[in-house]
Amino acid sequence: MRIESISLQGFKSFGEKTRIEFVPGINAVIGPNGSGKSNVIEAIRWATHTARVRELRAGNATELIFHGSQGKSSLGLAEVMLELSGLHRSHLPERLNLARRVYRDGDTEQELLGKNVLVRDIQNALRGSGLGPGGLAAIGQGEVSGVVTADSKTLLGYLEEAAGLSALTHREKQTLDRLVEVERHLEQLELVAAGVRERTEQLNREAETARKHTQYTQELQQLQDAVQWAKHQTLTQELQDLQVQEENLQGSVQQTAADLREVQAKQEELRLTLQAAGVERAEYESTLRLIKNAEERVRDTEKYLELLQLDQQNLLSEMEVLEALAPVEKPTADPVQIEASLRSLKIRLQSAERRLQASENELKQAYAQAQEAAREEAQNATLQEEASKLQALVEQETANLKATEEQLVAVRGLLSVTEEQYRTTLESFETARKNLQVAKSDLSRANNEKAPLERELKRLEVVLNSYARYGEGSRNALNSDIEGIVGSVADCLNVPEEYETAITAALGRRLEQVVVQNAQVAQEIIEHLKRAGGRATFLPLDLIKSRVRPDSRLLTERGVLGYAHNKCPSDPPLISEHLLGDTLMVQDHPTAIRIARNHAQRPRLVTLDGEVIEATGAVTGGKLKDSGLTVLADQRRYHDLQDELDDLDRKADKARKQERSIEESLKKLEDQVRELRLKHQQEKGQEAVLERTLTQAGARRDTLQSQLRSVHSRMHESSGTERFTGVQVLEDTITQIRQEIEVLRAQEQQFTADLHGIREQHTAHQHHQQEMQRLAANREKYQRLQGQIQGYLLNLDNHQRELAAHQSKLASLSRPELLPLEKEYKQLSEQHAAQTRKIAELQRTLENTRLNLARKETQRQELGEVKAPEVLPEGDARRWTGRIQTLERLLMELGAINALAEQEHEHESRRLQTMEKDIQDTRGAIQQIRDALRDLRQDIHSKLFLAFERVKTAFSNYAQELLGGLGELQLEQDENGKPTGMGMVVQPRSKRTRNIHLLSAGERTMVGLAFLFALSEAPEDQRGLPIAILDEVDAPLDEANIRRFTHFLKLLASKGSQFILVTHQKATMEIAHALWGVTTDAKGVSRTFSIKNSDIETFVQ
């Protein structure tokens, strides 16, 4: 077998897909340190499942995935594919493709021939090739020395794998498992057969009971028939007696009924008389009530008629007033048109007044120009007066300008404050919006972080609850669900993270011990483990004792941390006091040594790094297995995850509250921003108005100042103005305008008077219309009242006539006396009641007699036609009844009867015979499996002994050639001669030591290589080592040993072995048939390149 090629993608430093093809013979992988060349060997070991993740320099499987580098992002999976050839298996093709992948979430996949398979499928396919379980074909960096220092059982496993016996050994294990399964099946079958046998005996007893039940039932039926015949005879006699009694009662009832009818006739006659008198008296009283009601209706009608007549009189007076109103005509003119004409006239009047003002101004200027030459002094006085006026106007405009400027300053101050408030509020709004985004981001981040933590918490919960990391016995005990289990020691302890290593070293496998309530619970679990498998140690709380022996002197020593049971308490406390009460925790190993030397009487010492010094002086240290540590770490991680999830929940709640608070603040700030924006716009408008006012006032002041300067300049100028000739024209124009204004004002007064009159006419007309409408409504109301009065007058007349009729009828009626008649009727009623009760009593007796007669008749009918028994049992009916009760009691004691008991007994008997035959066959099969297992073991042992002799001889020779000394392999056997291990004894040249551990690194490497090369002689056909994958095994060798090493490489390669080497040695490169270089590019990704065979020597030089 050899490896044709390997493809890597995302595995460690290989960030891109890389394919390496290997040739038969020697393949060397070279490159600088850190380039990733050892990752090629580790990829082969990982893909073939010959190394655990920790042996590949990784904490877990996901750390094998390419983590990314500068310019290259991380990948989501790591994949390694191998192509093998020359397996020579009947169930496998000549070429074998296998692949293994790991994803970022921790999921893994294995493929064999393109199909997803289990790990054991790949291991079974590679058994005997050196790459299977226990094979030594792949040796990692620095592991060659570990081969020779391995325990004897591991060395024997290397021999079995090299000799091709691992498949047979695996088959032996499968056969043994099958044997255990068949024996368990036989045990279950025997248990079922015992149940069937017991069931058969039970059915036999049930069949006997069924036979007794039949006998008792027949006798009971005979007795019940005799009792029925006796009952029939008795019922016949009772029926005859009841018929005679019925005839006597019927005669008595008929006589009493005749007397009752005579009393009823008298009572009916008196009732009719009494009824006639009652009717007459009722008519008299009814007429009195009718008279009273008629009088009340007459009074009510008269009263309401008086009210209606009063309302009619008032309404008539109001109608007379309304009818006396003079009519008002509707005005023809429209006040809207008059108002429009009046507005147009006012506009014309204002225009004429403005023209008059302008003309008068022009006239004044004309007068001034015309008289300027003659009135120079007067003009100067006038100019002086005008200048004074202008000066006053300038001062007034200046004051107005100043006031406007002060108002503008005040408005701008308010505007500045508003802008500052607006800016501050807007900044607060933006800050709140950003805080809202931050709060939402925090909430989203908390929710996103929560999901993976919850998945990890669930995974840890499943691992901890299933006790998957525990041994078989402890796991089965803790999962047995037997009441009284407290938990494992690890469950009960509370170990801080910094003390996990120390507690793991101090307790070791005792972390898996099971804490129970009492010894009885422990006994129940032990019985359970005998059935389920495994062994475990239990700590019953009623048996274990506290082992605390405090020594205060030790606590004052430097480097002492305290007693372990105080640092790591338990629930219940007795657990830690029992297991850790005599354990003192110290800082480091030197501290422990110092305390051990200074105190002869001292407790057990444990350091934070895991070294343990027993009270006896024994020291334990080294690398800890990770089982217990992982359990404690998982528990701590579980609680840490719970705390982290609680913290995330608090953060999420805080973020939600903050989000709601910020949203409310945003709404308020948004309203404030809207109000401030509106206020800012209003103040801006005021500012613009004041600025326009200020500009206009400034312009007016400038104009006045310009006029004032012009007046001052004219006051000093000589009068040279020409006479103005248009004064007459202006005067005529002014006269015309004034006349026009007078006409317009007269028209305005006329229009105003007309508009006022028309409005009064409209008001009077509307008032008259309203009064006329009220008059019409009053007339309708008057007509309704008139009709109501006529109706009530008619009703009053009817009521008065009805009252006179009732009074006349009452005069014709008399009031009869009813008391004597009622007394006589009462006496007859009492006689009638007495006769009725007597008849009822006789009829009740008659009915009871008839009921008894019917009941007896029914009972006789229910009995049917009872024939007299041919032979009556001995005794009378009373004795027969007693026997019937006895038989019923016996049948009751028999209980439920299985009517099919005999048939089921026959069926179960046949089934039992079949099962007993199956048990015999199973026992025969077990014996056959045991014989086959014995033969297989003999075959394995014989082949193993032969392989051992071949490897032993070859190891002795190779050790002599490689080490220059002696090398010997020793086979360890049990009392039955079964190989249990293999030892190795080596004595280098010129040395007396035979201890492997005292050899140098180079010597151990040569011994390991000698053992590896010797294993190639293990197969019967001695085909040699099929493949060897070595990672820098030649690193500790000197030049001479390297030459010996390369000699053996060439020798074994010539026999067909394939070598894949990682090396830095020039001599090893020289003998390679193919060189693959590994380097790292600028992105930190491993790259490969191949060197042709013809170029190897040039490359090495």
693-715 pLDDT, tens digit each: 877 777 777 777 777 777 777 66
Q: What is the model's pLDDT at position 88?
A: 63
Determine whether the annotation assigns residue 35 to a binding site.
yes
pLDDT-based confidence at residue 539 (cuts at 50, 70, 90): very high
Is 638 part of any domain? Answer: yes
Is residue 228 within 8 Å of residue 889, measured between CB atoms? no
Q: How many CB atoms lie within 10 A of CB 992?
A: 6
Say if 542 falls within a structural domain.
yes
Q: What is the mean pLDDT of residues 569-580?
A: 88
pLDDT > 90: percent of the chain: 2
Tell me the per-residue pLDDT of 243-295, one tens digit each, with 9 for 90 and over: 888 788 888 878 888 887 887 788 778 778 777 777 777 777 777 778 888 78
How far apart, in Å, do the first and last CA atoms of the chain sit?
33
> Is the predicted pLDDT of residue 1010 greater than 70, yes or no?
yes
pLDDT at 629: 46
pLDDT tops 70 at residue 109: yes
In a domain, 996, yes or no: no
CA distance 150 to 157: 11
Q: Residue 905 — left, alpha, or beta (φ > 0 → left; ψ -120 to 50 → alpha)?
A: alpha
- Has residue 568 got a pLDDT over 50? yes
Are 486 and 516 in contact by the 8 Å Cβ rule? The answer is yes
Average pLDDT for residues 948-975, to the nearest whole number? 81
pLDDT, average across residues 384-397: 77
Q: Looking at the domain assignment, is residue 460 inside a domain? A: yes
Evaluate whether residue 486 is within a structural domain. Answer: yes
| CA neighbours closer than 13 Å in the CB half-sphere of residue 697 | 20
Q: Check pLDDT > 90 for residue 488.
A: no
Quick check: helix, strand or coil at residue 110? strand
Q: With 60 as the cut, is the pLDDT of residue 374 above it? A: no
User: Residue 723: its pLDDT value, please?
Assistant: 44
Instruction: Tell me, yes or no, whether 430 lies in a domain.
Output: yes
Residue 1097 has pLDDT above 60, yes or no: no
Instruction: Give all strands of the β-sheet with 1074-1080 in edge-to-edge order.
Output: 138-139, 1027-1031, 1058-1062, 26-30, 1074-1080, 1086-1091
Q: Is residue 257 part of a domain?
A: no
> Do the Cβ atoms of 44 and 36 come closer than 8 Å?
no
Mean pLDDT of 797-821: 75
Asked whether residue 334 carries a pLDDT value surpassing 70, the answer given is no
Longest dimension (CA), the chain: 188
CA distance 545 to 556: 27
CATH of the domain at 498: 1.20.1060.20
pLDDT (tens digit per residue) in 73-93: 888 888 999 888 876 665 667
What is the structure's pLDDT at 1083? 75
848 marked ligand binding residue: no
Question: What pLDDT does 340 receive?
Answer: 66
For 712-729, what is each residue's pLDDT tens digit?
776 654 444 444 456 677
| Lowest-pLDDT choice from 41-55, 119-133, 526-540 | 119-133
Position 606 scores a pLDDT of: 92
CB atoms within 10 A of CB 524: 16
The β-bridge relationship of strands 2-9 and 77-85 is antiparallel
Considering the chain, what is the average pLDDT of its residues? 78
Question: Who contacts 569 (Cβ-Cβ below 8 Å, separation ≥6)?
Answer: 493, 494, 576
Higher pLDDT, 631 or 141: 631
Band of pLDDT at residue 744, cut at 50, 70 and 90: confident
Q: For 135-144, 492-501, 592-601, which range has the lowest pLDDT when averaged over its residues?
A: 135-144
Q: What is the structure's pLDDT at 630? A: 64
Listing DSSP states for 154-168 in one string gives HHHHHHHHHTT-HHH
Do residues 526 and 485 make contact, with C-beta atoms less than 8 angstroms apart?
A: no
Asked if the model's pLDDT at residue 907 lies above 70, the reply is yes
Name the packing angle between helices 877-894 and 166-323 (round to 10°): 110
The CA distance from 601 to 1095, in Å, is 72
Domains held by the chain: number: 1
Higher pLDDT, 495 or 795: 495
Percent of the chain with pLDDT over 70: 89
pLDDT at 396 exceeding the cut of 60: yes
Spatial CB neighbours of 354, under 8 Å, sequence gap ≥ 6:
none
Q: Is 37 known to sit in a ligand binding site?
A: yes
Per the CB < 8 A criterion, the answer to whether 798 and 374 are in contact is no
Work out the average pLDDT over 9-31. 87
Contacts of residue 890, Cβ cutoff 8 Å, sequence gap at least 6: 216
Q: Is residue 439 one of the residues assigned to a domain? A: yes
Q: Does 36 show up as a binding residue in the annotation?
A: yes
Range of the domain at 692: 405-549+566-572+620-715
**39 annotated binding-site participant:** yes
Q: Is the pLDDT of residue 219 over 70?
A: yes
* Per-residue model confidence as pLDDT tens digits over 427-443: 887 788 788 778 777 77
Lowest mean pLDDT among 576-580, 800-804, 870-874, 1097-1101: 1097-1101
Average pLDDT, integer, range 1049-1076: 84
Does the annotation flag 713 for ligand binding?
no
With 0-12 / 13-18 / 19 or more C-beta atoms within 10 angstroms meaning exposed / middle / buried, residue 131 is buried
Helices (H), 556-625: 564-567, 573-580, 589-598
Cβ atoms of residues 441 and 453 within 8 Å: no
